[in-house]
Structure 1
Amino acid sequence: MKRQKSRKLLLLVSMLLFPITIYYLSPQLIILGARDGIMTGSFIVFLALLVSSVFLGRLFCGYLCPAGGIQECAAIINDKKPSQGWKNNIKYVFWLIWVSSIIFCFIGRKHEISLNFFYQTTNGISIANVYDYIIYYGVVLLIFIPAVVFGKRIFCHYFCWMAPFMVIGTKIGNLLHIKRVRLQADRAACINCHLCNRSCPMSLNVSDKVKKEAMDDNECILCGSCIDHCPKKAITYIVKEQKRKRIG
């Protein structure tokens, strides 16, 4: 369980640093920058998430995301598993509207395209005065309250604007047959204790995936909780390309 303690500590640190980093993860700031022809820090960060996910999948979500840290805290109050299925696609609708707005703003920009990583920050710090904290706490409540009301990691499932970048990145990696971090299962070692299901912060049916030896899932954040809670070590991390489906 040492890895899970370290993972949660990283999420806690990222959450505590959120007043500094929030503008580098801001969907609004990237639109404002695009309107002025500026590639902002958030533009660079989202691009980095896309590229890194080709090799790392959604590892960022499991280990470094401040929104994940906020929701881990909310899970202490409500660890109910939220319903999944078609609702998980809601975030892609929001994402498409958002990305379309960014493209539209860049096309209609007022100036030539330039780069300003610290756009609208004060010496690189996002929240630098008391008035900025109104925005900060608004965002925190936007993430925290749904998780308390509807269940753990609900924001990740339905509303996250960062997740689609990493899902697209993993699909690009699979298409190009690039080796990346993923999970591997040995169904012969599984004893159907379902501890993996209970420990999964994304509320996935991990045991079913183990039986099929098909661990890839768009909602999996590669946190390794299923690995660390499995008494028979039936699940492990590996670095390899996606298993190709047999024809015939």
Structure 2
Amino acid sequence: MTTALITGSTSGIGAAFARRLAADGHDLVLVARDTERLRGQATELHDRHGVEAQVLTADLATDGGIEAVAERLGDGRAPVDLLVNNAGFGNKGRFLQVPVADELTMLKVHCEAVLRLTSAATGPMRERGRGGVVNVASVAAFVPRGTYGASKAWVVQFTQGAARDLAGSGVRLMALCPGFVRTEFHERAGMGTDSIPGWMWLDADKVVAAGLADLARGRSLSVPDPRYKALMGLAKLAPRGLVGGVSARTGRKYGPQ
């Protein structure tokens, strides 16, 4: 039986990954900051699907939290076959409205943690000749939209570059880039969603299903919905100033988590 480690597992896309992977028979390592919520999630998934679900409390905005997860990823006695780097958040406000300390925390979670955990996971995976990493990014990676979009653009570029470097090793890496997903993301960040048209909202379980299908196909980038694939195609053709203006009117972040 294979094991998947999921960061930010207790809500949103992370919780959807946990449900789907448990239903498929994978043992789990569930990572988040809230121990009580993690334990409840682990118990529910174990009782429903009969899988083992380990709880690992860690704050990926801290070195200690990142190191704890990296240590688990490097445990050869209980290897992790799939890493899902999903943990993330959004800051409310435009550039210079958000404290620099908060922006740096975002970069630590979205970039440094993804780099360090991907490195910790893929080394042992390469030695075994198999494994996978899904780094959850966002369609915000493709539009000029502040620190959040910039951090997710880094995730996409890093993941695709690492995927090329590890080609032929048996290790697959993929950046998952959804659009607006109905999760707790915007509520936690204090962001209003009234301006977002209903057709732009995606279902987390469908996002995960599409992403896992793309991973199985060997793709290094997944935009898991035809509507957003079309929008991203148009964004490549439109002037960047126009794209940035549209994204500003439809919300502060394209937050997937």
TM-score between both structures, scaled by the size of structure 2: 0.31
TM-score between both structures, scaled by the size of structure 1: 0.31
Structure ranking higher in strand proportion: 2
- Which structure's relative contact order is higher, taking Cα pairs within 8 Å and 6+ residues apart? 1
Structure ranking higher in helix proportion: 1
